[in-house]
Amino acid sequence: MRSIFAIVALATALLSATSASAERRMFIIANNASGYGVDRCLASGATCGAAIATAYCQSREFAQATSYRKVDKDDITGAVPTSTGAGACLGSTCDEYVAIECSR
């Protein structure tokens, strides 16, 4: 009888661990230079960006950041306007983006 309860408890633990690790989301944010060096930490993937990326994830109700890195605007299909007008990219103003992957 105890072995049945142990098997059920183990199966429940495995299922809950699997569903928790599967919930991830990637956020693409503009990498605007603020003068504090935050942009360089995130874009370079340096360890100084870990706390920043985790704080960003936690502000969106995720537990932690699993990765953060620089992405090119060409990698973001249709998300960055390239023509002139409101919100358009001019020169190098849209060249820097950071991807932060969060998990629950």
pLDDT digits (tens, 9 = 90+) for 17-66: 555 555 899 998 877 766 666 777 888 888 888 998 999 999 999 999 99
* Of residues 53, 62, 50, 49, the one with CA closest to residue 28: 53
DSSP 66: E
What pTM was computed for the model? 0.61
The rounded distance, in Å, linking the Cα atoms of 54 and 73 is 23
User: What is the arithmetic mean of pLDDT over 71-91?
Assistant: 60
The rounded distance, in Å, linking the Cα atoms of 16 and 89 is 44
Note the pLDDT of residue 65: 93
Note the pLDDT of residue 45: 80
Tell me how far CA of residue 26 lies from CA of 6, 70, 83, 88, 97, in angstroms.
Answer: 36, 12, 26, 23, 12
- Domain assignments of the chain as residue spans, ordered by start: 23-103
Confidence of residue 95 (pLDDT cuts 50, 70, 90): low
